[in-house]
Amino acid sequence: AQKVTQAQTEISVVEKEDVTLDCVYETRDTTYYLFWYKQPPSGELVFLIRRNSFDEQNEISGRYSWNFQKSTSSFNFTITASQVVDSAVYFCALSGGSSNTGKLIFGQGTTLQVKP
């Protein structure tokens, strides 16, 4: 069975601090994809990144960076120099498997509050 665990329910930081959101996944598939989405109060999920299981290279996009480690089944997300606008719920998600429908398995989400 596939599963995504985001152990941190809520994180609160002060602006300009760095923060890391943890994501651990379970799957028996050899080919799979990992995603991070941001959900602001408006409710719409905003795509941040996609990673496939064969590419463990870390990625940086501006203040955002992602660390993918297959050995520990983790796909962690770091925001450097956080800003108030980063306040949102962040979801890690997994897709893949023999059905290959694109069904996303989401974690419970981590609520990030960035205080001024």
Partner 1 sequence: ETGVTQSPTHLIKTRGQQVTLRCSSQSGHNTVSWYQQALGQGPQFIFQYYREEENGRGNFPPRFSGLQFPNYSSELNVNALELDDSALYLCASSSEATAYNEQFFGPGTRLTVL
According to CB under 8 A, which one of 50, 63, 70, 115 is a site residue for partner 1?
A: 50
According to CB under 8 A, which one of 77, 96, 112, 114 is a site residue for partner 1?
A: 96
Q: How far apart are CA 16 and CA 20, in angstroms?
A: 13
Q: Does residue 112 interact with partner 1 by CB under 8 A?
A: no
Q: Does residue 64 interact with partner 1 by CB under 8 A?
A: no
Q: Is 63 helix (H, G, I), strand (E, B) or coil?
A: coil
Q: Does residue 95 interact with partner 1 by CB under 8 A?
A: yes
Q: Which stretch binds partner 1 (CB under 8 A): 18-26, 59-67, 77-85, 93-101?
A: 93-101
> Tokens 């960035």 sit at which residue?
114
Tokens (6 digits) for 2: 């596939």
Closer to partner 1 by Cβ: residue 44 or 85: 44
According to CB under 8 A, which one of 28, 30, 41, 44 is a site residue for partner 1?
A: 44
Q: How far apart are CA 56 and CA 8, in angstroms?
A: 23
Work out whether the CA dihedral 7, 80, 40, 27 comes out positive or negative. negative
Q: Are 12 and 111 in contact (CB under 8 A)?
A: no
Q: Does residue 32 interact with partner 1 by CB under 8 A?
A: yes
Residue from 111, 79, 108 nearest 93 by CA: 108
Residues that bind partner 1 (CB under 8 A): 4, 31-33, 35, 37, 42-47, 50, 52, 91, 93, 95-97, 99-109
